[in-house]
Amino acid sequence: MYVYLMRRLFTMIASLLAISVLVFVIIQLPPGDFVTAYITELESQGEMVSEEKIAFLRRQYGLDRSPVEQYVDWILGILQGDFGYSFEYNLPVTEVVGDRVLLSIVVNAATILFIYVVSFPLGVYAATHQYTWGDYGLSFLGFLGLATPNFLLALVLLYLANLWFGTSIGGLMDPLYIDQPWSLSKALSVLEHLWVPVLVIGTAGTAGMIRRLRANLLDELNKQYVVTAKAKGMAPRRLLVKYPLRMALNPFIADIGNLLPQVVSGAVIVSAVMSLPTTGPVLLAALQSQDIYLAGSFLLLLAVLTVFGMFVSDLLLAALDPRIRLTSRGRR
């Protein structure tokens, strides 16, 4: 087990390093850099920029050095907790991101929780009541959830929330609390606003998860070991929970790793539409203006989330499935 854990941690760090290189390369790929973008913007406002100033800016931002040097600087900084400097905001990246990361995590965690809590019982119901009206109804709702564009759902729900509950449009809290220190009422306001984005972002994931769980469980229900358990005289419900459901959980857990990036990337557009103070919109802007350290740190953060999600799901799988746990120990 320890060998497995060590190996897993090792590959995790290796893949994060590889991802950081990739992220950096991709950000550098478009022609020009932040200064070019900045100058274009200034020129479009009718300002003239001298060659010296451009060179000065380049030097100041460290853009005159080779990409390898820039990368090494950036990575070494991150290891010391310094994520670099955002050109756009003229602030350290950590300060720009600050609260947004926390709120992002709150929204995403709530969404994943929502997906699991809703899809699990519904998936089990659909599988155990195959080809009944309940099953058909759930399938229909599921397809509807998969097919509806998120931003449309977001607009509709925002309107309804405002109409019925008087919730303020957009954002994750009442405008009153923005930039205020955290308090109980601020947290409550967040909760009041949270359900709309969670519902919007989670719908597609929930629908997909219901379909997957239903298919997995149906497969398991026809397996021989289920007949064996029936032949023991087990009651249907207890049997379902102890044997096939336990097996059907495997893909459910393996999905955590897939779900995290899906939810996070899906959140970008929705966040933009709903003007949520999460990381999505900032990432979008940073990519557009080639604010390398800000964008890079963001992307790396997403990568960490994904890789970590995979790690957690692998550990859970190993805990749940003896075949994974014991064969990795190196039998024979």
Partner 1 sequence: MTDLLRVENLGVAFGLHTGETPALRDVSFRVRGGSTMALVGESGSGKSTVARAIMGLLPGNGRIVSGRILLSDTETGFDWAAGDSHLKHLARIHRPGLDGTLDLTTLDPDGPAMRSIRGGHVAMIFQDPMTSLSPLHTVGNQITDVLDLHTDLPRREHRPVISAMLELVGFADPARALDLYPFELSGGMRQRAMIAMSLIAAPGLLIADEPTSALDVTVQAQILKLIRDLQARLGMAVMLITHDLGVVAHMADEVVVLYRGEVMESGPVSDIYRRPGHPYLRALFRALPRLSTDRTARLVPLREVRSQTAHLLADKEPWPAGADDAGPLLRINDIHKTFTAKKGGPFGGPKATKRAVNGVSLEIRRGDSLGLVGESGCGKTTIGKIIMRAITPESGSIRFNDRGRIVEMLSLNAKAMIPYRRRIQYIFQDPSSALDPRMTVFALIAEPLKIHGIGDKAFRIEMVKELMTLVGLDQRFMNRYPHSFSGGQKQRIGIARALALKPDLVMCDEPVSALDVVVQAQVLNLLKDLQHALGLTYLFVSHNMAVVRYMCNRIAVMCMGRVVEEGPTERVFEHPVHPYTRALLAAVPDPDGDGDWLAGGGAAPNGGPSDPEAWPAPYAVDDDGVAWMRDLGGEHRVLVGSDAAFPEIAA
Per CB under 8 A, does 247 bind partner 1? yes
Per CB under 8 A, does 230 bind partner 1? yes
Nearer to partner 1, 133 or 332 (CB): 332
The values of phi and psi at residue 101, to 5°, are: -65, -45
Per CB under 8 A, does 29 bind partner 1? no
Per CB under 8 A, does 66 bind partner 1? no
Nearer to partner 1, 154 or 245 (CB): 245
Binding partner 1 (rule: CB under 8 A), the pick from 31, 81, 166, 322 is: 322
- Using CB under 8 A, which of the segments 37-45, 184-192, 267-275, 323-331 binds partner 1? 323-331
Shortest approach of partner 1 to residue 224 CB, angstroms?
Answer: 4
Per CB under 8 A, does 166 bind partner 1? no
Per CB under 8 A, does 225 bind partner 1? yes
Q: Any residues with CB less than 8 A from the CB of 52 and at least 6 apart, and which?
A: none
C-beta contacts of 96-100 below 8 A and 24+ residues apart: 96/282, 96/294, 97/279, 97/282, 97/294, 97/297, 97/298, 97/301, 99/277, 100/277, 100/278, 100/279, 100/282
Shortest approach of partner 1 to residue 238 CB, angstroms?
Answer: 9
33 alpha-carbon distance from chain centroid: 28
| Burial readout 284-307 (b: 16 or more C-beta within 10 A, e: otherwise) | eebbebbbbbbbbbbbbbbbebbb
Q: Are the beta carbons of 108 and 264 closer than 8 angstroms?
A: yes
CB neighbours of residue 147 within 10 Å: 9
Nearer to partner 1, 4 or 151 (CB): 4
- Using CB under 8 A, which of the segments 258-266, 270-278, 291-299, 314-322 binds partner 1? 314-322
Per CB under 8 A, does 1 bind partner 1? no
Per CB under 8 A, does 320 bind partner 1? yes
Q: Are the beta carbons of 318 and 325 closer than 8 angstroms?
A: yes
Nearer to partner 1, 176 or 326 (CB): 326
- Distance CA(297)–CA(159), nearest Å, equals 34
- Using CB under 8 A, which of the segments 190-198, 211-219, 221-229, 289-297 binds partner 1? 221-229
Per CB under 8 A, does 315 bind partner 1? no
Nearer to partner 1, 88 or 220 (CB): 220
**Of 115, 142, 213, whose CA–CA distance to 134 is shortest?**
142
Nearer to partner 1, 109 or 227 (CB): 227
Shortest approach of partner 1 to residue 222 CB, angstroms?
Answer: 9
- Using CB under 8 A, which of the segments 35-43, 118-126, 158-166, 225-233 binds partner 1? 225-233
Binding partner 1 (rule: CB under 8 A), the pick from 6, 18, 178, 187 is: 6
Per CB under 8 A, does 307 bind partner 1? no
Nearer to partner 1, 31 or 332 (CB): 332
Shortest approach of partner 1 to residue 244 CB, angstroms?
Answer: 9
Binding partner 1 (rule: CB under 8 A), the pick from 227, 241, 265, 288 is: 227
- Distance CA(31)–CA(29), nearest Å, equals 6
Binding site for partner 1 (CB under 8 A): 3, 6-7, 10-11, 223-225, 227-236, 242-243, 246-247, 320-323, 326-327, 330-332
